[in-house]
Amino acid sequence: MDTRASLALILLQQGFPDQAMRAAESNIEEARAISHAVSLCHALSFAVCPIALWVGDLVASDHYAGMLLDLSTRYGLTAAQHGGRRYQSVVLIKKGDITAGLPLLRACLERVGKANVAFGFFTFVSEMAAALARVGQVADGLAAIEKALALTERIEEPWLIVELLRVKGELLLMQDAPRAALAAEDLFRQALDGARRHDALSWELRAATSLASLLQGQGRSTDALALLQPVYDRFTEGFDTADLKSAKAILNSLR
């Protein structure tokens, strides 16, 4: 089960979101076939739930988060239960119900110990920071990002820092402070470099999309197109995912 979950995350990282989702869902079916609750909760927590959120499939995200919460509650699996609540809170935020989702997510993240810092944790922090910014609490969002960045020094997956840097850049732009654009561009380029070093194409696309949007807003459309088009062209699947649709929309506006 651990191998299949790891494979799904690697596929996502390398830019194969459709294959990643299929591998994650196959892991679910395998756990169901042997009626093993712990394995099923593991497959939900560490593969299918985070991948569904990453690709922007809110229907699947809601379904699998509910499955995780129901199953973990039934069998008294406390850690998985907290994970289910975190995923459900992000789904609420993604659906636009920040009033309900944000307090729930903040409360859930307070229970996460240092030993549990992993891909899912940084996904939650990024979502919380973005949600805080959307309700005008940009400083709180930046503080959450800085706290998470400090934790990345203790983990073995340095590529996890990439999305935190990108989100920090987006939040700086929302502050509209002097030199915010310069600082944001630097963060986006750091995120790009980090994604490329670790062959994380999905992360590279997000960073390239953020930077291209910034460049376009500055009248540097030629630079934006030259940056984003080659990254987009490396994808062979996942064109219905949220990130690829966003990138495509920017590319269309640049032509």
What's residue 115's pLDDT? 46
pTM of the model: 0.93
Closest CA to 32 of 43, 21, 20, 19: 43
User: By CB neighbour count within 10 A (0-12 exposed, 13-18 middle, 19+ buried), where does 58 fall?
Assistant: middle
Half-sphere exposure of 33 (CA within 13 A, CB side): 7
The 3 state secondary structure assigned to 121-184 is HHHHHHHHHHHHHHCCCHHHHHHHHHHHHHHHHHCCCHHHHHHHHHHHHHHHHHHCCCCHHHHH
CATH architecture of 1-108: Alpha Horseshoe (1.25)
Considering only CA atoms, give the Rg of the chain.
18
What's residue 118's pLDDT? 61
What's residue 23's pLDDT? 96
Task: Show pLDDT as tens, one digit a residue, over the chain (255 residues).
Answer: 578 889 999 999 999 999 999 999 999 999 999 988 999 999 999 999 999 999 999 999 999 999 999 999 999 999 899 999 999 999 999 999 999 999 999 988 876 655 455 667 788 999 999 999 999 999 999 999 998 888 777 666 667 789 999 999 999 999 877 899 999 999 999 999 999 999 999 999 999 999 999 999 999 999 999 999 999 999 999 999 999 999 999 999 998
What's residue 214's pLDDT? 98
- 52 φ/ψ angles, rounded to the nearest 5 degrees: -60, -40
